[in-house]
Amino acid sequence: MPRSTVTIDLQRATTIPTAQLPTPVQLKTWVTAVRAALKKTTTPIELTIRLVDSSESAAFNQRYRGRAGATNVLSFPFINPPGAPSSCALLGDLMLCAPLVIQEAHVQQKELFAHWAHLVVHGALHLHGFDHQDANEAAQMEQLETQIVTGLGFAAPYEVI
């Protein structure tokens, strides 16, 4: 993999023990893998990844998506203001709900850090403009997620155990 051009501002706003949270190195590796898969390794980017508890996730989910309850990952792409250079390095923000990620991994019988990796990859793809609003978009995004996550050495994220 080429030299990383990814800078992450990691914010921990959760009571979950550090041992159950991804490290800055893991996060950077996972986002860099997304960039490599998209062949965007030369443009430097910055993003914020905020690890939160359920209450903060639920508040943001309600405010920005109109949905009640916590969600595993929220993405907030940066939109260049008019007149800003198009080479702006800010990609956006990801918010991951640590208790929910851990609960999902347990319920779905997935290795914890494989699930963390999958959700970071999923969120980073959203920041790069990917979505899953219809079946074609969902299939394309799932295929790319699977390619990236398995390339990182984890099990395919959509396989039913």
Under 8 Å CB-to-CB from 47, ≥6 apart: which residues? 6, 7, 8, 9, 31, 90, 91, 92, 93, 94, 124, 127
DSSP 45: E
Known binding residue 132? Answer is: yes
Helix H or strand E segment including 4:
none
Q: How far apart are CA 156 and CA 158, in angstroms?
A: 6
Known binding residue 118? Answer is: no
Known binding residue 122? Answer is: yes
DSSP 84: S
Q: Which residues are annotated as a binding site?
A: 122, 126, 132
Binding residues for Zn(2+): 122, 126, 132
